[in-house]
Amino acid sequence: MGSSTGKREYQFLKELGLGSRNFGCFANGVWKGNGPTVTSLNPANNQAIAEVVEASTQDYEDGMTACVEAAKIWMQIPAPKRGEVVRQIGEALRCKLQQLGRLVSLEMGKILPEGIGEVQEIIDMCDYAVGLSRQLNGSVIPSERPNHMMLEVWNPLGIVGVITAFNFPCAVLGWNACIALVCGNCVVWKGAPTTPLITIAMTKIVADVLEKNNLPGGIFTSFCGGAEIGQQISQDTRIPLVSFTGSSKVGQQVRRLVSERFGKCLLELSGNNAIIVMDDADIQLAVRSVLFAAVGTAGQRCTTCRRLLLHESIYQNFVDQLVDVYKQVKIGDPLEKGTLLGPLHTQASKANFQRGIEVITSQGGKILSGGSHIETEGNFVQPTIIEISPDAPVVKEELFGPVLYILKFKTLKEAIEINNSVPQGLSSSIFTRRPEVIFRWIGPHGSDCGIVNVNIPTNGAEIGGAFGGEKATGGGREAGSDSWKQYMRRSTCTINYGNELPLAQGINFG
């Protein structure tokens, strides 16, 4: 088992403007790199794809200086005109959909349909943001004082910092950047250290659009680099809002650094998501949903199903069917047609999977399927099903891989308590046909997550709704609904158009 990467795959790298050695800093419309040189690896065989020269701390400063100047221009362009630029970015992405999707699969390791789907998600976000650019509406508020008018006005923040993770190396940028740009903000992006080629390819597409519109390159600034660049973004007072996607542990550090300078944070952190299957559920629908939610992206989604809660009356029937479909999962090169499970992203991820299985079994976990790594040059592991007690400490943790815990329950109340018992609060699903169960589940005494689904899996969120979670997931919301308000500052404006000075609350001051 390995990768079939060859001349055919490397051709699309050239079509994306990538070579064997690339500069990883786009600052003031110029590509540069004065930091260390890193090698991007194909997780299907751990062979080198290309080299990237990362940004240095001075490169960061050069980029930010230009970004600050570009912000003065960009925020004065009318919002619908900014939307037109984002529309052109979407069109440019459409022209490179297949190539960029293949790059996501090659460098990150997710299967090709998911790689292409990730790029399509950015295109969809561009379309969404274009419409939004004509709907950044404020409010007119009745005043209690005669001859006074109150208005709510929304203005750009200036610059938005975006720090993304390896598992969605470009889609999460799209969630943030598309909306941030139409809201009048410049964007500073630090992609994941292990997916630098995707960062560069995405930036090249955006940069070309800015250049064709005679706009400053500093409107979109990107850096390939490690934690030091992320720390600079977090501490930079020129960046009012930092959007961070990653672990809860690192998210806490980012929040502390940003809060110390009174900046704003948008956090999308860990998930420990559960699917509840009630006794009246459509079993076949639920089995297919669990397979996609637990095995998709090799379990490396924040919305991956990690806990499966089965009603005792359907428990064994469901387990038998699920174990059977797990045996049919094709594991292999993510670029090959028919593959359902690609490799984990890094060798460290594979080692962490192995350690995790040891901890799980030491806490009473019984392996029903999988449980081992695969002897190959790539980072492949078996999709794993484990029967375990909900009281086992390891169930409260997020193991970033295709490991599914199966838990048994008797009542809906018990299932909801188990769902809510973990520190994380991102996504959750229930399978049932009963209206009373559905409305209990989505109500105040139901799931405590930011995403609460019925008869669909925990992953696969649409951009029209706000995406994000509660508790250790960070509380952030991205993409649809009114998430755009996080990328702007609100001003309440009171206008006195009369000749008197009446005071609020009827106060008479002399």
Are 197 and 13 a contacting pair, CB within 8 Å?
yes
User: Which residues belong to CATH 3.40.309.10 in the chain?
Assistant: 273-462
Are 259 and 265 a contacting pair, CB within 8 Å?
yes
Stretch 207-214: mean pLDDT: 98
Are 26 and 63 a contacting pair, CB within 8 Å?
yes
Give the residues across from 38 on adjacent strands.
52
pLDDT at 2 over 70: no
* Token digits of residue 337: 């047609």
Q: CA angle at residue 128 from 122 to 134, to 5 degrees?
A: 140
* Chain-centroid distance, C-alpha 45: 26
* Token digits of residue 147: 């001859």
DSSP 126-184: HHHHHHHTT----EEE--SSTTEEEEEEEEE-SEEEEE--SSSTTHHHHHHHHHHHHTT
pLDDT band at 505 (very low <50, low <70, confident <90, very high): confident
Proportion of the chain above pLDDT 70, given as a percent: 98
What is the spatial distance between Cα 485 and Cα 274, in angstroms, rounded to a whole number?
Answer: 30
Pairing assessment for the beta strands 305-311 and 403-409 based on DSSP bridges: parallel
Q: Which amino acid is at 301?
A: R
pLDDT at 289 over 70: yes
Give first-to-last CA distance, the chain, whole Å.
Answer: 86
Nearest to 166 by CA among 297, 49, 256, 52: 297
pLDDT band at 1 (very low <50, low <70, confident <90, very high): low
pLDDT at 8: 56
Are 266 and 290 a contacting pair, CB within 8 Å?
no
Q: CA angle at residue 503 from 499 to 506, to 5 degrees?
A: 125
Q: Which of 101-110, 402-411, 458-467 has the lowest mean pLDDT?
A: 458-467
What is the spatial distance between Cα 331 and Cα 329, in angstroms, rounded to a whole number?
Answer: 6
pLDDT at 332 over 70: yes
pLDDT digits (tens, 9 = 90+) for 447-457: 999 999 999 99
Helix axis angle for 112-132 and 79-95, nearest 10°, is 160
CATH of region 8-269+474-491, choose from 3.20.20.70, 3.40.50.620, 2.60.40.2310, 3.40.605.10: 3.40.605.10
**Residues classed as catalytic:** 268
What is the spatial distance between Cα 59 and Cα 225, in angstroms, rounded to a whole number?
Answer: 11
User: Which residues belong to CATH 3.40.605.10 in the chain?
Assistant: 8-269+474-491
pLDDT digits (tens, 9 = 90+) for 243-259: 999 999 999 999 999 99
Q: CATH for 273-462?
A: 3.40.309.10
pLDDT at 162 over 90: yes
Give the SS3 label for residue 240.
Answer: coil
User: For residue 348, what are the contacts with CB-CB under 8 A and spacing of at least 6?
Assistant: none
Are 309 and 407 a contacting pair, CB within 8 Å?
yes
Stretch 167-175: mean pLDDT: 97
pLDDT at 9: 58
pLDDT digits (tens, 9 = 90+) for 374-405: 999 999 999 999 999 999 999 999 999 999 99
Pairing assessment for the beta strands 264-268 and 273-277 based on DSSP bridges: unpaired
